[in-house]
Amino acid sequence: MPNPLYDRLFAPLAGKPSPFLTQPDGVSISGVEFLAMVHRAAGALRGQGVRAGDRVAVQIAKTPEALAVYGATAAVGAVFLPLNAAYTAAEVDYFVGDAQPALLLVDPARADALAPIAAAHGATLSTLGADGRGGFRDLCDAQPEVFAVENCDEDDLAALLYTSGTTGRSKGAMLTHANLLSNAEALAREWRYAADDVLLHALPIFHTHGLFVATNVTLLSGASMLFLPGFDLDAILRLLPQATVLMGVPTFYTRLLDAPQFDRALCGGMRLFVSGSAPLLAETHVAFEARTGHRILERYGMTETNMNTSNPYAGDRRAGTVGLPLPGVEVIVADPDTGTPLPAGETGVVEVRGPNVFKGYWRMQEKTQEEFRDNGFFITGDLGCFSDDGYLTLVGRQKDLIITGGFNVYPKEVELLLDEQPGVLESAVIGVPHPDFGEAVVAVLVAQPDARLDLAAIDAVLREQLARYKQPKALEIVAELPRNTMGKVQKNLLRQKFDEIFKADAPKNP
């Protein structure tokens, strides 16, 4: 029976007795062995009551077993919902309450904290640890290595990824089998991916970049991966000679440039370096080429659309741009009010139409309608302009979404918590340039009359209540927030005021 995502990505592993995943300790898992893991995990999912169309929410460490759960969810015909491992219990509660998953799979260390949340929302709780063990693994071990894969259509949901906006709570982007496959196919062709490629995979797999770009392209191409649990500079440097491709966020590349041993010789076998999920500073691009002889290939995408544009594999990879629209993907720069395409050189809102664009927001029909034009173009909220020869440059965002280290931060969420703190009259959270993370979260505070703000105490509360990437890297106090005549806070002025506070951290020249 057809199952588009499973058939194209996972079924071909049956003919791959060679290594598919190699772990940092050198232990390899062949394609055949990994497919057996997928089948056993699918049996475990079905045994826990997961059926086609159900959501499977996971907040677990990056392991081969975790990746197998992704494949297993596709095999069952369910909807994969990966959650950032840094989310607090309060954050998980919102996602589980909204998505109503049949299963919540968590690290054993968090089971006690998250069990009440699963119970409150009618989800079965199971566990899978960083060591590959847990209640779910026990269930997998009891399953056969062959699974009857569920029939699915291209338009069926394959994944539900939550993305931060600038108004309201996080929204669940509904991605279909066709969305994910069309994008993997386009990227594999454009980046000349082949079965002999070896991806050094150090990205998280709860995020579009690490899961739907890095992993899907590798699977579709029959390639293999050096599978790291996260970014480890020493491990990257040690394994780089065994790889042909590295995909990363700008942080990866600034940290590599800080390593004296990172040079042309170490990169001698590399074919491609890809950067995305956050803006890559032009100086990092230039410094990287001078050090290694490689030009980083920067691309542009988002949770709702996967990848939209890419600098060319063979051609001019221009620093400061995100390249050209991918084949089959229409990208325009439009007037924000009318949607009328603007000529090259003029700045407007970036809009996208194509098979990569998501189906809509989960249980938010009105919000979905607001974000799409009548002609089917999705309004990204990013501001950009095209060059005369079609290269897209992003110049900012209509809204105040912050992207730090590849992760989205919704300023209002942080502001609401700040405003509750003793002595705080009001706050504004902004993103400012950071050479390592692309953008850094900065909180600007105004004290109540005669109050003295305890920044250490405020920082402690933020660390307890927010995932690490959402925590401000600086807390700044001002007498008042700048406002326009309508009383709206002018965050652009705050960004101008604080845009160089991390300049001292700029990447070193080679």
Q: What CATH number has the domain spanning 402-505?
A: 3.30.300.30
Question: What's the pLDDT at 164?
Answer: 56
- From the list 397, 392, 439, the residue with the least C-alpha distance to 281 is 439
Name the pairing type of β-strands 297-302 and 272-275. parallel
Residue 380 burial (CB count, 10 A): 23
CA angle 433, 438, 441 (to 5 degrees): 65
Q: What is the dihedral of CA 182, 187, 189, 190, to 10 degrees?
A: 130
Q: Which tokens sit at 469?
A: 């990437």
**pLDDT one-digit tens code per residue, 261-302:** 999 999 999 999 999 887 777 778 889 999 999 999 999 999
Write the pLDDT tens digit of every residue in 32-65.
999 999 999 999 999 999 999 999 999 999 999 9
If you search the block for the tokens 């020493």, which residue do you land on?
234
Q: How many CA atoms lie within 13 A of 273 on its CB side?
A: 23
Segment (H or E) for 417: helix 411-419
User: What digits encode the pLDDT tens for the residues 320-345?
Assistant: 899 999 999 999 999 988 999 999 99
Domain-wise residue ranges, the chain:
1-152, 402-505
Phi first, then psi, for residue 106 (nearest 5°) are -135, 165
The dihedral through the CA atoms of 341, 346, 352, 353 has a sign that is: positive
Q: What was the pLDDT predicted at 485?
A: 44
Neighbours of 376 (CB within 10 A): 12
With contact defined as beta carbons under 8 Å apart, do 274 and 434 qualify?
no
What's residue 278's pLDDT?
Answer: 74
309-336 as b/e, with b when 16 or more CB fall inside 10 Å? bbbeeeeebbbebbbbbbeebebbbbee
Predicted local confidence at residue 488, as pLDDT: 63
394 pLDDT exceeds 90?
no
Same fold: 1-152 with 402-505? no
pLDDT single digits (tens) 459-505: 999 999 999 999 999 999 999 999 764 456 788 899 899 988 887 55
**What confidence tens digit (pLDDT) does each residue in 425-434 have?**
889 999 999 9
Q: Is the pTM of this model over 0.85?
A: no
> Residue 185 above 70 pLDDT?
yes
Q: What is the predicted pLDDT for the residue at 484?
A: 61
Q: Is the pLDDT assigned to residue 113 strictly greater than 80? A: yes
Q: What percent helix, strand, coil does the chain show, rounded to 5?
A: 35, 25, 40
Q: For all residues of the chain together, what is the average pLDDT?
A: 92
Is 246 in a helix, a strand, or coil? strand
Strands (E), 218-359: 224-227, 245-248, 272-275, 297-302, 306-310, 324-325, 330-334, 348-353
1-152: CATH superfamily: ANL, N-terminal domain (3.40.50.12780)
pLDDT the model gives residue 148: 95
C-alpha 299/C-alpha 183 separation (Å) is 13
* CB-CB neighbours of 149 under 10 Å: 20
Rounded Cα–Cα distance for residues 225 and 246 (Å): 10
pLDDT at 165 over 70: no
pLDDT in tens, 127-163: 999 998 999 999 999 999 999 999 999 999 999 999 8
Residue pLDDT, tens place only, 305-322: 999 999 999 999 998 899
* Phi-psi domain of 260 (left: phi exceeds 0; alpha: psi -120 through 50; beta: other): alpha
- Site of tokens 């996208």: 352
**pLDDT over threshold 60, residue 230:** yes
Say which DSSP state 326 is in: P
Say if residues 398 and 414 touch (Cβ distance below 8 Å): no
Span 441-448, average pLDDT? 94
* Whole-Å CA distances, 425 to 361, 422, 472, 477, 483: 34, 9, 18, 11, 15
Is residue 155 within 8 Å of residue 54, measured between CB atoms?
no
Tokens of 393: 């440059």
SS3 186: helix
Mean pLDDT over residues 176-185, rounded? Answer: 98
- Strand ranges across the sheet with 360-361: 124-127, 103-106, 55-59, 79-82, 157-163, 171-176, 360-361
What's the rounded Cα separation, in Å, for the pair 371 and 168? Answer: 14
What confidence tens digit (pLDDT) does each residue in 353-379 have?
999 999 999 999 999 999 999 999 999
